Amino acid sequence: MKHFLLVIAFLLIISSPVYSQEVWRRLTTDDGLSSNKILTIYHAKNGDIWITTDQGIDLYNGIFQPFLQVSVSDHL
């Protein structure tokens, strides 16, 4: 009976919703991202987020800062 109650308690714990205090926000070209087509994302130890897109590389640390931009002619 003790094991049965432990299993029930465990199932209740893992099935209860866990809420994160983190707020997620979708960032787009309207926010300054060079393209909405993301290729890779790297989160640096200092907190900066580096994002590579099909149009270049952006640094995000609260605002987008273009680091390297690629023009359409570079793809030809």
C-alpha dihedral, 53 to 55 to 60 to 66, nearest 10°: 160
Residue-wise pLDDT for 11-39, tens only, equals: 767 666 665 566 777 888 898 888 999 99
3-state secondary structure of 67: strand
Return the pLDDT at 74: 53
Q: Are 53 and 64 in contact (CB under 8 A)?
A: no
Helix (H) or strand (E) holding 38: strand 38-43
Return the pLDDT at 32: 87
Q: Is residue 3 predicted with pLDDT exceeding 70?
A: yes
Q: Which comes out higher in pLDDT, residue 37 or 72? A: 37
Q: Is residue 76 predicted with pLDDT exceeding 60?
A: no
Q: Are 65 and 54 in contact (CB under 8 A)?
A: no
* Percent with pLDDT over 70 in the chain: 74
